[in-house]
Amino acid sequence: MQPRVPALVKADGLTPLRRDAAVDSNWPGASFARGMRDWRVSRGSADGDNGPEADIAAWRGRDLERHEGQVYSAIQQQVLAIVGEGLDAVPTPDWKTLGKDKLWAEQWSRVVRGLFRNWARTTDCDASRTETLGFMGSELLTSTIVSGSGVAVPYYLPDNGLTRFGTCFRVVEADRLSNPDFLPDTATRRRGIELDPETGAPKGYWICSAHPGDALGMLAQGVKREWTYIPAFTSWGRRRLVHVYPRRRPEQSFGISQLASVGGEVRDIGKIRRAELRNQVVTSALALIVKSSLNPEQVMQMFKSSPNYGYWQMYYDKEFRPQVTDDGATVVAPPGTEVTTLNAQRNAQNFEAFLKASWRQVMAGLDIPYEIGARDYGGLNYSNARTILLDAWRTFYTKRTWMGQRFFDPVFQCWFEEAVHLGLIPDCTPELLYAPGMATAWTACRWLGSGKGWIDPLKEAQAQTTRMGNYTTTMLSECGDTGEDWMETADQQEIERAYYHSKKMEYPLDVAARNPRALAGAAGDPREGDGNSDREH
């Protein structure tokens, strides 16, 4: 048996005072040097660390979104780029698994895409009959950023509006996903989510009939507070509730507001900005201090016994008390008074630079470049703007894929199931859909959103021509970058070409293909080749 080595410990009898007399730590982040001793951290699980503070982080995140314009702008920029007005479904069935061919897949995809689009672009897809599917996705994404989670509940409401489909969804506030009677979390129940004790997978969800803030706050009168249990999946595997949240750690059951890590800094920046704004208001105002040459006590004593004392009291309050005037006001002073101005000059020369540096740190925490989040494009040249845009869109594309998998895919699968039962899907029956391993082959989708745009259209078009000439790209990729579907683009070009020919005119795109500079003009862009010139982003 190896002998125990004595060690100096703290008063608790467990914590070593120093691990080694010569070396404090092998890692700077684990050091207990003088400047690191007050760094106390939690060693709990993901839910253990996030659970006690998830609510307050969400509430404060919503408050910052309401009151801080830069935060609102950064969130909206992400939502507009990732989801925008909505993601367009492009069904991509696994035709090999289904025993079909590529031509069948393309024709089948067009039919299914049209059916789904007709449903998704109406408010029939919303149980509250308010939003289209695209804006429901934007609402859900905003909730995941600000509150940490987004929740959508599927409903079946037959004869619900203009379309023949009864499938619809309702986006609810994530706060309604909660433990019955607001009881504390347990090992198998976390914030309204019932977990499998062995795998950690969600088994079901508890949804409150009213928002907790209404049930406990000023709107509590007449609010019925009940919890409904919704199983996570049907017996054949389809989701019965869509719970979207960014999972940062293993075994994490719910999300935390993205503003949690930068909320304190944002609040401090807001205080500093408002204080500086108030100072500038005072500086720009004409502040006058009116001083009487008489002693106020003597004047009051003189007139106190007079029957007109009340009149003199009002006269003194009106004419002799110190006053701060409105901007541009003029004061008529009584004889024998002295008028002075209030000088509140302050040096704010570096204030803008300080704000920019502070907001850059915040935007990094919100996972968006400062220039895009703050919509501040001043001083950028083409190279810088393109670098920023490419970096941002790498993040946006990744999050778009994530949103497609976590929200839009379950929505499409739920709609597709009803469409099959209605007999609207070619070559697919309920028996084929529910065959083992076939559901994902039928419902695979690619989600097409808005494009990243062009900083310099001429340069981007030249680069596109080079890629196509070298066979290093596809029309699918090129059209996808602009948010278009390549097959619909080809169909539209065919229609336009036929129309031009019917008018005995040459199609402009054919002219441009033979002579790329014909439409740009013989002189071209006078800024062409100047990679350092400032461009409007």
Burial 475-487 (b: 16+ CB within 10 A, else e): eeeebbbeebbeb
- Count the Cβ atoms, other than its own, within 10 Å of residue 387: 12
Max Cα distance, the chain (Å): 110
Instruction: For residue 152, give both structure tokens.
Output: 């959508």
Nearest Cα neighbor of 79 from 121, 150, 137 is 137
Residue 154: in which H helix or E strand, if any?
A: strand 150-156
pLDDT in tens, the chain (537 residues): 556 666 677 666 666 665 544 456 778 788 878 778 888 888 888 888 888 889 999 999 999 999 999 999 999 999 999 998 889 999 999 999 999 999 999 999 999 999 999 999 999 999 999 999 999 999 999 999 999 999 999 999 987 778 889 999 999 999 999 999 889 999 999 999 999 999 999 999 999 988 888 756 555 566 778 899 999 999 888 899 999 999 999 999 999 999 999 999 999 999 988 888 887 776 666 555 545 555 556 555 655 555 555 655 665 555 555 444 445 444 445 555 555 555 556 666 788 888 899 999 999 999 999 999 999 988 888 889 889 998 999 999 999 999 999 999 999 999 999 999 999 999 999 999 999 989 999 999 999 988 887 788 888 888 888 888 888 888 888 888 877 888 888 889 899 999 999 988 988 888 877 776 554 443 344 344 444 444 343
Q: What is the pLDDT of residue 460?
A: 80
The secondary structure of 447-485 as a DSSP string is: EE------SSHHHHHHHHHHHHHTT---HHHHHHHTT--
Phi and psi dihedrals of 522, rounded to 5? -60, -35
Side chain identity at 447, as an amino acid letter? W
pLDDT value for 535: 38
How many C-beta atoms lie closer than 10 Å to residue 357's C-beta?
11
pLDDT at 525: 45
Compute the radius of gyration of the chain from its Cα atoms: 33
453 CA to centre of own chain: 20
Q: Which residues of 9-48 are buried (b: 16+ CB within 10 A; e: fewer)?
A: eeeeeeeeeeeeeeebeeeeeeeeeeeeeeeeeeeeebbe
Separation in Å, CA 236 to CA 233, 243, 312, 427: 8, 19, 89, 21
User: What's the rounded Cα separation, in Å, for the pair 271 and 458?
Assistant: 44
Give the length of the chain: 537
Q: Tell me, what's the pLDDT at 132?
A: 95
Question: What's the confidence (pLDDT) of residue 300?
Answer: 56
Question: Structure pTM?
Answer: 0.78
The string of pLDDT tens digits covering residues 367-383 is: 999 999 999 988 888 88
Kindly give, in sequence order, each residue whose CB lies less than 8 Å from that of residue 329, ignoring residues fewer than 6 positions away: 286
Amino acid letter for position 28: P
Question: Which pLDDT score is estimated for 66?
Answer: 93
pLDDT tens-digit series, residues 78-137: 999 999 888 999 999 999 999 999 999 999 999 999 999 999 999 999 999 999 999 999
The Cα–Cα gap between 209 and 228 comes to 7
Percent helix, strand and coil across the chain, each rounded to 5?
A: 45, 10, 45
Q: What is the DSSP letter of 126?
A: B
